[in-house]
Amino acid sequence: MDERLRQDLANWLDFYRQLGIEEFYRCTPGSVAPLPATPGGRAVGAHGHAPLPQPSAKPAITETKPAISLAAPVPPQRPEASETARTAPIRPPAPSLSLFETAPPKPSGPETLEQIRADLGDCQRCKLARGRQNIVFGEGNPHAELVFVGEGPGADEDEQGRPFVGRAGQLLNRMIQMIGMKREEVYICNVVKCRPPGNRAPEKDEVDACSPFLFRQLEAIKPRLICCLGSPAVRTVLGIKEGITKIHGQFYDFDNSKALATVHPAYVLRNPREEKILREDFEKIRKFLKGK
Ligand code: SF4
């Protein structure tokens, strides 16, 4: 080895020693080159055939420090908690939920029929909604002394959205006139507000879903007398399961009102001889409203 190369090699070895690298080896041809030393490691090597770098002069330690950058980069430190607290925006405390959980004040006094109708909305609370054309909420005098409750709309009622407008309704109108009243003076509604298919009787789940609206209507109107037309209305309003032909014409208490059961006009249309029952019961209604 000539003197110049020896001197260069000595300079490089001295340079690496100052960096803390103490051991050196030389790769022979065919050997596997080792990986560079780990950061802060103690060994370094070079292929035997690879030329060593040729520094022009012994490098100063300060100049070679970047070579140590083989070390993994130090991850950025999280700011101290206190620093986070300092720099985090100050948010106002969340408002108390109780401000929003408080139910809006209920209007004083009883509900109006308009409010109950609005609450019913486009009702889908039971399966009768699927086959209806119109909800038949009820109609008449919102301050009526006399309220008629049927079981549910028929085809004509479903089509028009009004209660008792078919043949049974015409018979009811005649009965109302018979006792000296006009249809506009009374209120007429049903246990269920949508037509049961095939005019069948409403089923229990349908009555359970819809009857709360009936009771709210009665509460809003506060009539003197409720006339239940047919067995489903009697069962719903009075909870009486006996046959209508046994209990018709009797007065029952319902809150601060009275209730009376009679046969449904549609039943009379199918059984014309039973019109006598209807007439007798309507005469009782007339006397009751006259205070007799
Ligand atoms: S019958 Fe009454 S509860 Fe059922 S969908 Fe009609 S309005 Fe709603």
Of all protein residues, the one whose alpha carbon is nearest to atom 4 of ligand 1 is 126
Q: Ligand 1 — pocket residues by CB below 6 A?
A: 120, 123-126, 128-129, 135, 192-194, 206, 209-210
Rounded to the nearest angstrom, the distance between the alpha carbon of 211 and the centre of ligand 1 is 9
Mean pLDDT (whole number) for 127-137: 98
Q: Are 166 and 211 in contact (CB under 8 A)?
A: no
- Best residue among 192, 200, 216, 217 to mutate for probing ligand 1's pocket (most ligand atoms within 8 Å of CB) is 192
168 has a pLDDT exceeding 90: yes
Mean pLDDT of the residues in the chain: 78
Question: Which atom of ligand 1 is least distant from the CA of 206?
Answer: 4
CA angle 281, 286, 288 (to 5 degrees): 95
Lowest mean pLDDT segment, chosen from 32-41, 125-134, 268-277: 32-41
pLDDT of 15 reads 63
For residue 11, name the pLDDT band (cuts at 50, 70, 90): confident
For residue 108, name the pLDDT band (cuts at 50, 70, 90): low
Q: Nearest to residue 221, comparing CAs of 159, 149, 156?
A: 149
Rounded to the nearest angstrom, the distance between the alpha carbon of 230 and the centre of ligand 1 is 19
Rounded to the nearest angstrom, the distance between the alpha carbon of 101 and the centre of ligand 1 is 29
Mean pLDDT (whole number) for 228-236: 97
d(C-alpha 273, C-alpha 193), whole Å? 29
pLDDT of 138 reads 98
d(C-alpha 254, C-alpha 29), whole Å? 111
Tokens of 10: 């000595």
pLDDT of 16 reads 58
Of all protein residues, the one whose alpha carbon is nearest to atom 6 of ligand 1 is 194
**Long-range CB contacts (within 8 A, 24+) of 250-259:** 251/284, 251/288, 254/218, 254/226, 255/218, 255/219, 256/222, 257/218, 257/222, 257/223, 257/224, 257/225, 257/226, 258/224, 258/225, 258/226, 258/288, 259/225, 259/226, 259/227, 259/228
Rounded to the nearest angstrom, the distance between the alpha carbon of 233 and the centre of ligand 1 is 15
Alpha carbon 108 to its chain centroid, in Å, reads 28
Mean pLDDT (whole number) for 14-37: 54
d(C-alpha 86, C-alpha 31), whole Å? 58
Between 184 and 85, name the one with better pLDDT. Answer: 184
* pLDDT tens sequence across 60-105: 444 444 444 434 444 334 334 333 333 333 333 333 334 344 444 5
Mean pLDDT (whole number) for 31-54: 42
Rounded to the nearest angstrom, the distance between the alpha carbon of 118 and the centre of ligand 1 is 13
106 has a pLDDT exceeding 60: no
Of all protein residues, the one whose alpha carbon is nearest to atom 2 of ligand 1 is 210
Of all protein residues, the one whose alpha carbon is nearest to atom 3 of ligand 1 is 210
Q: Nearest to residue 199, comparing CAs of 235, 152, 246, 236?
A: 152
Rounded to the nearest angstrom, the distance between the alpha carbon of 147 and the centre of ligand 1 is 20
- Best residue among 122, 134, 203, 210 to mutate for probing ligand 1's pocket (most ligand atoms within 8 Å of CB) is 210
